[in-house]
Amino acid sequence: MSRILLLLLLPLVVLSAMPAAEPPATPKGETLTPEWASAFAKLALKGAKKEFPNKPGHVLLDDKDTKTPKALHPAFYGCYDWHSAVHGHWMLVRVLRAHPTLPQAKDIRAVLAEHLTAANIKTEVEYFNRPEAKSFERPYGWAWLLKLAEELHTWDDPDAKTWAENLRPLAELIANRYIEYFPKQTYPIRAGVHSNTAFGLTFAHDYAKATGNKKLQELIEERAKAYYGKDADAPARWEPDGADFLSPSLCEADLMRRVLPPAEFAAWFHRYLPGAVKGEPANLFGPATVTDRTDPQLVHLDGLNLSRAWCLRGIITALPKDDPARKALAASAAKHAEAGLKHVSSGDYAGEHWLASFAVWMLSLPAPE
């Protein structure tokens, strides 16, 4: 009996003594590699034409307004909500532009060609012109729409030129909404979610510079300085809130590095986050913890880790090479990138419909040296 038992156990002993199989290679969280681009494209393609579930920010005046998401927004109806659909399309453009030979290239072009038609964008413009839609997607969805327009405008590709021209009426409408609205917004909104003013101005500034819209650029620079120019000792120790996907303090710094000259920005930054040299406050410099990735609010914190990483990467580029805060900022950026990239594909739609866009923008920025 003992011989039989020994023979049965022998294979297990041999297997346990063998070296463990190497895990499959994964891309490093430094740049937008073809592997990352392909993985993220799959997620965006899965959501781009997925009309339901959907969370419309739609004001109903009567029963005639009860329309499906696709009827209301034929260009941007997928991915759960309008802004996620918009930045999902931006992400598809960005990954295709970065890696034109992706396996998903044909599918990406097909989706963009189907959605970004002149007729579809005309319907989107008509929706924004409804009196009840004056504040629709302000400013988060506005910002991503302008980021999509910027991406198409700066891409030397025949299809992109067509899509950019089709999108232009909506982009110009949104740009004018900025010019009309922000002089009336006396105080900035410092939330860690869609209403954040600094984030809303950041992508709009990028668009304004890329397209030569001086009026928009000047407005944003004036508003940014008025809102944030005198800020000092930011209360970053209070971050994060329980459902943040943006860091109020880091989004503000990411905007100010765009609108201030380098030397002026460095001085402002050290007044604003005086503990940055030491990596303080610790809860800002360390990644957020996510306890439930099936909860649409709690999973926001995965996005926070990615958006913190992109802000930190951007801030570093605006500081002198010998700035004493660079080391702590770079270490924090790496930690946040690693934490966020692990969970872009969680298997649950609560995060998968939007996190890839955050990952792509983060990986599009230079990793700290």
What is the mean pLDDT of the segment spanning 17-24? 32
Residue 23 reports pLDDT greater than 70: no
Residues 6 or more apart in contact with residue 361 via CB below 8 angstroms: 94, 306, 310
Instruction: Estimate to the nearest angstrom the gap between the alpha carbon of 228 and the chain centroid.
Output: 22
Q: What is the pTM of this model?
A: 0.92
The Cβ-side half-sphere exposure at 1, using a 13 Å CA radius, reads 0
Give the C-alpha separation, 198 to 254, whole Å.
8
The first and second tokens of residue 221, run together, are 């620079």
Helices 197-211, 248-259: axis angle to 10 degrees equals 30
At 16, the pLDDT band (50, 70, 90 cuts) reads very low
**What are φ and ψ of residue 269, in 5° steps?**
-60, -40
Residues 6 or more apart in contact with residue 314 via CB below 8 angstroms: 254, 257, 365
| Residue tagged 């943040």 (tokens) | 244
The first and second tokens of residue 248, run together, are 């109020």
pLDDT tens-digit map of 239-253? 999 999 999 999 999
Give the C-alpha separation, 226 to 229, whole Å.
6
At 29, the pLDDT band (50, 70, 90 cuts) reads low
Give the C-alpha separation, 302 to 292, whole Å.
10
pLDDT tens-digit map of 207-221? 999 999 999 999 999
What is the mean pLDDT of the segment spanning 164-178? 98
Q: What is the mean pLDDT of the chain?
A: 93
pLDDT at 342: 96
pLDDT tens-digit map of 58-80? 999 999 999 999 999 999 999 99
**What are φ and ψ of residue 328, in 5° steps?**
-65, -40
Task: Work out the percent of the chain whose per-residue pLDDT is above 90.
Answer: 91
At 28, the pLDDT band (50, 70, 90 cuts) reads low
Do you find a cis peptide bond into 281, omega within 30 degrees of 0? yes
Range name among 19-33, 184-198, 304-318 with the lowest pLDDT average:
19-33
Do 336 and 287 touch, CB atoms closer than 8 A? yes
Radius of gyration of the chain (CA): 23
Residue 17 reports pLDDT greater than 50: no
74: closest CA among 109, 117, 45?
Answer: 117
pLDDT tens-digit map of 332-362? 999 999 999 999 999 999 999 999 999 999 9
Instruction: Estimate to the nearest angstrom the gap between the alpha carbon of 310 and the chain centroid.
Output: 9
What is the mean pLDDT of the segment spanning 95-104? 98
pLDDT at 296: 97
Give the C-alpha separation, 154 to 148, whole Å.
10
The first and second tokens of residue 42, run together, are 């799959």
Range name among 22-36, 117-131, 212-226, 299-313 with the lowest pLDDT average:
22-36
Alpha-carbon distances of 294 from 30, 196, 352, rounded to whole Å? 27, 24, 10
At 19, the pLDDT band (50, 70, 90 cuts) reads very low
pLDDT at 97: 98
SS (H, E, C) 265-332: HHHHHHHHCCCHHHCCCHHHHCCCCCCCCCCCCCCHHHHHHHHHHHHHHHHHHCCCCCCCCHHHHHHH
Residue 18 reports pLDDT greater than 70: no
